[in-house]
Structure 1
Amino acid sequence: MEPPRRRTAIGWWLAAGAVLVALLLLVTWAIRAGTGLSTSGAGRGGQPTTQVCPPGELGTPTPMPVQPADGRVHGGKLSYPELGAPFGPVIPEDQVPFARNAVQQLYVVEADFDGRSDWVAQVMIGDLLAGDGFFSPEDGSRIVVDCVVDRFYGDSTVTRNDVRNAATTIDGHPAWVVESKLSFNVPGLKTKGERLLVAIVSTGPSSSGIFYASIPDTTPQLLEPARQAMAGLRVAG
């Protein structure tokens, strides 16, 4: 059985080939041009008109990254302590446009909310794609959050209120952490808000890792486990 997928009917997925390459080129150009990719503006979902995440089709499934029997979830060079119930088992995540070698744990909050897809609480880690260049954790966090707010909620307006948006270190590596309160009104969905957690970690001279979690307000008991998972991040090698 195919695992439940977050917002599958909203159309933010990118193809694994040409569309993803186009995204990477756009990201690299945006950083070099110094656009900043601000979250202010009149674009869809409260985003600027710059299209950080062009729409695409479902990606091609990739093999499940190896999971050592150490009680941790491994994606790329990052790992976090595996979450227990009600989060499900570790499964691959091959549909996120800004990650690869990614894995996730899910909990279904509203099943089949629109007749086609599930709304879930999600915790995910993996390598962060950076095109043919390298960007700082701050730049990476800005790109990822802009992409999330612009693409995960369809045509609904998203109100974003950052609780934390700051530099830090994770397992001795430079990192940038964002925690945001998001509010929205997606048709057919009882959930009207959620907490977004993003950590971008410099995992090497020219590589980064991503931790991403989205916890709906209708399951507030899952927020602290997600925070603890982010706090427990480690970098391999």
Structure 2
Amino acid sequence: MSERNAWSRSGGAWSSGMVTASGVPPLAPDPPTPPEAPRPGGPERRRRQLRIFGGIAAGILAAGLAVLLIVILGAESNPFGGDKAAGPADLRPPLAQACPAPAESPGGAPTQRPSAAPPATGERTTDSEAGISYRRYGAPWQVWDTVWKAGTLEVPYRVGQHFVTEVYSGGEYHASILSGAVPAADNDAVSLDLECVGRQVAADVRAEYYPQPNTMEPLRDEVTTLGGLPAWVSEFRLRFEANGLTATEELSAVAVIDVGKPTAAILYVSIPGTHKQFDYVVEDVLNSVRPL
């Protein structure tokens, strides 16, 4: 762009300024300012406000529901820290759960194990798993050669003697001298709650081994010693009826013996009323128990 002087009269004086050279197009004028958008009228404004208020209300409602869920489910899980740790499952055997081992005897001193019993004589039945032995009898008694898990406690009777006293519509009925071992304490326990364990086992015998209903005549129910070992002995006579069964009563005994292990030795003796000539076996076999 070229320049030249231009003279103009302004207030009686001459002045110089910038002018565009001939042939150069003038600068384009500024674009016009667009008109301001019209503001929404009354109805439109109210709709917009309702949408805003609705969004705020929805947010408050969602926050409230989240807090409510945290309160309700807080006992089971923590949404910010993962599930709460569940309490440890009780994996102890049923008898250990029902009968925790005592830490001390009633007198306050640790339980003392009795002195050793006199040596056993005669033929013996030995139950190495239970940790005891006891007298063996001749005919009609025979060696027990199976495993019988009886009752709710499922005491596994693996060792002993028996003979069939009668056969009826329900099967064979037996006289029996059977032993087994059943978990009855925690692994670190050094003694058993003999009374509790004994009552639990005796109740299981009555409820699960015999026809129902039945009546019981208690004969002996006490803490004692068998072969120098602490024991609980229950003796009782049960009376019952079953279709086709000649026997209507039975003399029975259950001994729970503390052999110094988490398992208790169980000795179960049963003499049907049809063979009362063998009732003496109950006391005799209990008195013959010895530890291995």
RMSD: 2.4
CA distance in 2, matches of 1:220, 1:82: 19
Are 2:289 and 1:233 equivalent residues in the alignment?
A: yes
Of stretches 93-102 and 171-180 in structure 1, the one that deviates more from structure 2 is: 93-102
CA distance in 1, matches of 2:157, 2:141: 20
Report the CA distance shift for 1:232/1:23 in structure 2 as closer, same or farther (over 3 A): farther
CA distance in 1, matches of 2:91, 2:202: 15
* Bigger radius of gyration among the two: 2
Shift of 1:119: 0.6
Are 2:242 and 1:190 equivalent residues in the alignment?
A: no
Which residue of the other structure, out of 100, 121, 124, is the alignment partner of 1:72?
124
Shift of 1:27: 3.3
- For 1:199, the equivalent position in structure 2 comes to 255
CA distance in 1, matches of 2:148, 2:164: 18
Alignment of 1:87-166 (within 5 A): 87-96=141-150, 97-100=153-156, 102-111=158-167, 113-114=168-169, 116-130=170-184, 132=186, 135-154=192-211, 156-166=212-222
SS of residue paired to 1:194: strand
Report the CA distance shift for 1:72/1:23 in structure 2 as closer, same or farther (over 3 A): farther
Say if 2:160 and 2:178, in contact at 8 Å, map to a contact too. yes
Amino acid at match of 2:246: K
- For 2:54, the equivalent position in structure 1 comes to none
Are 2:96 and 1:28 equivalent residues in the alignment?
A: yes
**TM-score, length-normalised on structure 1?**
0.66
Size of the aligned set, in residue pairs, is 175
Shift of 1:99: 3.0
CA distance in 2, matches of 1:90, 1:140: 25
Say if 2:123 and 2:135, in contact at 8 Å, map to a contact too. yes
CA distances 1:154-206 after superposition (whole Å, capped 9, x unpaired): 4x211011100011111221111111010111222110000111111100153
SS of residue paired to 2:201: helix
**TM-score, length-normalised on structure 2?**
0.54
SS of residue paired to 1:218: helix
Q: Which runs of 5+ in 2 are unaligned?
A: 1-89, 101-121
CA distance in 1, matches of 2:205, 2:251: 12
Amino acid at match of 1:143: Q
Alignment of 1:4-83 (within 5 A): 25-31=93-99, 71-75=123-127, 76-83=130-137
CA distance in 1, matches of 2:176, 2:91: 23
- For 1:48, the equivalent position in structure 2 comes to none
- For 2:12, the equivalent position in structure 1 comes to none
CA distance in 1, matches of 2:216, 2:91: 23
RCO higher in structure (CA 8 A, sep ≥6): 1
Amino acid at match of 1:162: P
CA distance in 2, matches of 1:205, 1:103: 19
Shift of 1:221: 1.0
Report the CA distance shift for 1:223/1:90 in structure 2 as closer, same or farther (over 3 A): same
